[in-house]
Structure 1
Amino acid sequence: MEIYLDVLLVTNFLANYLALRAVGAITKAGSARLRPVLAASAGAIYAAVVCLFPTPLLSAMTVKLLVGLGLVYLAFGGGKALFLRFVVFLGVSAAMAGAVFALSLSGSGEVLPGGVLYLDISLPLLLIVSTVAYLLLTLAFRTFGKASLTKLKKHVTAEVYHQGITANFDVLVDTGCLLTDPVSGRAVLVTSLSAVEPLLPPPVRSALQNGESVESVLSLAADCNLPMRLVFCTSALGQREMLAAFRPERLILDGKNKTGTLLAVTPKGLSGDDGIRAVIGAAG
């Protein structure tokens, strides 16, 4: 069988890109749009090198795993969720390899030596098939996410104590929320302003209510002896946000001492229902 380099590159680029997008959908990982493209491109180049220069070293399982881990890191960054995303990436990639093997039974696809995917079809047809597959995959993961959302949630009660003041509110524990502080590695509880309003000094509270910049909020907090820091997160709509966060003196979550967890305050509130005013990942 003749192997065309352009088809080989496009096949593996699309396979990597679809797998990374699936990982992002499953783990609710926020990422800039360009990063998965760069990661998928790197994976396609690696596949081409393995095919053109089939050496035992390049096709070794250890090297493949390291390359896969590198692709996930390039697409989504590091942090505690890196290995979870890597495991999901391996699972999705295995499923895609199985699909290509099924196509090989009809003579349309093949897994080349070294584990490189190849579809023996014209490039225009490959692009059309990939576009349809991407749309179906996106629809499937969105449907799966909505259908299984209630199974991945539970509600708990939080009791926060800081500078002699206590605040109580309900928290949504969401397995899809993987937010942590990249500096300290601490868990982050994202809370609406109304939930922690009593804990904040009046100048900080007013600045958040008036929608002032995060830098201004941090400056006012420092003047009020409330150490705050920036936490970056991605909203449910995919928008990147900077939130002001602080560490309360004590936090009891579902009856367990979670002191050390950061509270990131969003003045926009949360879009949930049932009176939920805060959200935290299951690992928190």
Structure 2
Amino acid sequence: MPVVYIDVVLVVNLVMDFLILWATARLGQLPASPWRLLAGAGIGALYSLALLFPAGASLLLLGIKVLFSLLMVLATFYPLTWRRLIQVLVYFYLVAFAMGGAMLGGIYLTGSGGSLQVMGGALVVGPGLHYTWLLAAMAAAGVLVRWGTGWLKKNIWQQMLHLPVVISFGGRPLAVKALVDTGNSLRDPLSQRPVIIVEYSALQGILPPEIVKAYNGQGELDLENLAASLAASPWAARLRLIPFHSLGQDRGMLLGLRPDEVVVVTSERMIKIKEVLIGLYRERLSPEGSYRALLHPDLLEWSMSY
């Protein structure tokens, strides 16, 4: 029977749970103050008292473990919609499993597992333990935070990357096929609104004659003169000039337009978004024509948060 130091058990589990919740917040891009992270970790540390339960009560302990996980997430990230709660729990268990695997790897490599056991799902620390395993768990959390968000966007979201969007100007809606571009970080430098890059030809039918004439003409676009020609029209309040560093150019400018709204159509619902800009791109975005717009990845996250 191992010697159990309750105070050490609580502290170690508090540190581990704090790291798990911190990495979950970063992966899910969720706001969480240090105090709320600590509150959630405190609830998780209390679960370490599960080691007092009889070893045979496995089903009871499993239920308690799930309940405490839910309480930790709610204490840290409340309020959450049901959809967002499920997403956060997935992030939470992903981080927990990754850190647990790194911890076991650290124990195996150092041969220091004799003083550390898992009882009832909680870490039990004995005397003479080298904390290499804790460093391994911290490293795993750091790796997930540093590279995990990009990996999730690139791989887990691949099934949802093609979405139809409906763009409205002056009460005239137009639907286009959009690709969620994880490399599109373009924002309006003034308002910080995300930018949806759209082929000019896809919106040509609902744009004013001045823009149509300029984009159909030969040679380079003179966006400043174009903006001046629209100064007296209702479109003047919609105009932005957006600098960018991609789309085949080292530096360039896009004509940005503020729509009435953009509707992102997912498999489950239609999400209306107003805080967004449309950047007109003169060339084709897809050689095959499979999409005609590049959707900012933040808009997908917003649509998933509803």
TM-score (ref. length: structure 2): 0.52
What are the residue-to-residue correspondences of 1:29-44 with 2, within 5 Å? 29-34=29-34, 35-44=36-45
Aligned equivalents of 2:261, 2:124: Cα separation in 1: 52
Preserved contact between residue 29 and residue 76 of structure 1 (Cα < 8 Å): no
Aligned equivalents of 1:257, 1:46: Cα separation in 2: 36
SS of the residue 1:81 aligns to: helix
1:159–1:115 CA distance, 2 compared to 1 (3 A): closer
Is 1:159 equivalent to 2:161 in the alignment? Answer: no
SS of the residue 1:111 aligns to: strand
Structure 2's unaligned 5+ residue stretches are 183-192, 208-232, 241-258, 280-284, 286-292
Preserved contact between residue 156 and residue 173 of structure 1 (Cα < 8 Å): yes
Preserved contact between residue 100 and residue 117 of structure 1 (Cα < 8 Å): no
Aligned equivalents of 1:23, 1:204: Cα separation in 2: 43
Give, as a single letter, the amino acid of the residue that structure 1 aligns with 2:73.
Answer: V
Could you tell me which residue of structure 2 aligns to residue 6 of structure 1?
7
What are the residue-to-residue correspondences of 1:208-219 with 2, within 5 Å? none
Q: In the TM superposition, what is the alpha-carbon distance from 1:132 to its structure 2 partner?
A: 5.8
Q: In the TM superposition, what is the alpha-carbon distance from 1:246 to its structure 2 partner?
A: 7.9
- Cα-Cα RMSD: 4.8
Moved more, 77-86 or 136-145: 136-145
Q: In the TM superposition, what is the alpha-carbon distance from 1:120 to its structure 2 partner?
A: 2.8
Could you tell me which residue of structure 2 aligns to residue 65 of structure 1?
66
Superposed CA offset, 1:258-279 (max 9, x none): 6x52213147x9xxxx773543
Give, as a single letter, the amino acid of the residue that structure 1 aligns with 2:172.
Answer: I
Aligned equivalents of 1:109, 1:203: Cα separation in 2: 70
Give, as a single letter, the amino acid of the residue that structure 1 aligns with 2:165.
Answer: A
What are the residue-to-residue correspondences of 1:172-251 with 2, within 5 Å? 172-173=179-180, 192=195, 206=237, 251=263
TM-score (ref. length: structure 1): 0.56
1:95–1:164 CA distance, 2 compared to 1 (3 A): closer
Report the count of equivalent residues.
221
Could you tell me which residue of structure 2 aligns to residue 143 of structure 1?
147
SS of the residue 1:160 aligns to: strand
Give, as a single letter, the amino acid of the residue that structure 2 aligns with 1:110.
Answer: Q
Is 1:90 equivalent to 2:108 in the alignment? Answer: no
Preserved contact between residue 115 and residue 126 of structure 2 (Cα < 8 Å): yes
Could you tell me which residue of structure 1 aligns to residue 228 of structure 2?
none
SS of the residue 1:134 aligns to: helix
Preserved contact between residue 20 and residue 92 of structure 2 (Cα < 8 Å): yes
Could you tell me which residue of structure 2 aligns to residue 238 of structure 1?
none
Aligned equivalents of 1:194, 1:108: Cα separation in 2: 57
Preserved contact between residue 47 and residue 65 of structure 2 (Cα < 8 Å): no
Could you tell me which residue of structure 1 aligns to residue 118 of structure 2?
111
Q: In the TM superposition, what is the alpha-carbon distance from 1:39 to its structure 2 partner?
A: 0.3
Preserved contact between residue 36 and residue 75 of structure 1 (Cα < 8 Å): yes
Preserved contact between residue 25 and residue 32 of structure 2 (Cα < 8 Å): no
Could you tell me which residue of structure 2 aligns to residue 54 of structure 1?
53
Could you tell me which residue of structure 2 aligns to residue 22 of structure 1?
23
Preserved contact between residue 102 and residue 133 of structure 2 (Cα < 8 Å): no
Give, as a single letter, the amino acid of the residue that structure 2 aligns with 1:90.
Answer: Y
SS of the residue 1:74 aligns to: helix
Is 1:264 equivalent to 2:274 in the alignment? Answer: yes
Aligned equivalents of 2:98, 2:271: Cα separation in 1: 37
Give, as a single letter, the amino acid of the residue that structure 2 aligns with 1:158.
Answer: V
Could you tell me which residue of structure 2 aligns to residue 280 of structure 1?
300
Preserved contact between residue 155 and residue 171 of structure 1 (Cα < 8 Å): yes
SS of the residue 1:40 aligns to: helix
SS of the residue 2:37 aligns to: helix
Q: In the TM superposition, what is the alpha-carbon distance from 1:75 to its structure 2 partner?
A: 1.9
Give, as a single letter, the amino acid of the residue that structure 2 aligns with 1:93.
Answer: A
1:246–1:31 CA distance, 2 compared to 1 (3 A): farther
1:90–1:166 CA distance, 2 compared to 1 (3 A): closer
> Which protein shows a greater Rg?
2
Q: In the TM superposition, what is the alpha-carbon distance from 1:253 to its structure 2 partner?
A: 4.2
Moved more, 68-77 or 88-97: 88-97
Aligned equivalents of 2:95, 2:151: Cα separation in 1: 20
1:156–1:122 CA distance, 2 compared to 1 (3 A): same
Structure 1's unaligned 5+ residue stretches are 176-189, 210-244
Aligned equivalents of 2:3, 2:42: Cα separation in 1: 23
